[in-house]
Amino acid sequence: MDIKKVRLEDISKTERPTLGDEVPVEVFRLLRIIGMYSILGEGSGYTLYLAGKELGVEFDVNTVEELAKLLKKLKIGILTVVESSDDRIVVRVDECITCAGLPDIGKMICHFEGGIIAGALEKILKRPTKGVQTRSHTSGFDHCEFHIHLL
């Protein structure tokens, strides 16, 4: 059998006349948190970050405003820029798809989202980036925060 890769533009094609194109956040989290950790193991953070980054650079966005609009449309989260300098952009994400409402477990788990934002900013700013998560619901905050270093 000829195995083909599902491309990014194919992902949004859904044929679900009864169920529609949305799923509950719980289902997403089952796959995203429990599924991916059990497949990739505890060291999955960096792999997920890279996967997110690969996705983010493919986003059809040219400005930070467009990125914020897309993340809201995809219901990934509400992005705002907290601080911006020549070598770093600090962004806040409210209502994060992965962690909003989860308890403080003493670690941050939104590597995928950090990768998406770092990848999209790399494309927008035409500069290599490295994203580091600094706040999360799962580390005791009421929002997520990422430091995107411009390299």
Instruction: Supply the minimum distance, in Å, between the C-beta of residue 132 and Zn ion.
Output: 13
Candidate list 48, 61, 110, 120; residue touching Zn ion; CB under 5 A: 110
Q: Is 117 in the site for Zn ion (CB under 5 A)?
A: no
Q: Is 116 in the site for Zn ion (CB under 5 A)?
A: no
Taking CB under 5 A as the criterion, the residue among 71, 96, 120, 124 binding Zn ion is: 96
CB 135 within 8 A of CB 109: no
- Closest distance of CB 113 from Zn ion, Å: 6
Minimal CB distance residue for Zn ion: 96
- Which residue of 61, 68, 99, 118 would you call a contact of Zn ion, by CB under 5 A? 99
* Interface ranges with Zn ion (CB under 5 A): 96, 98-99, 110, 144
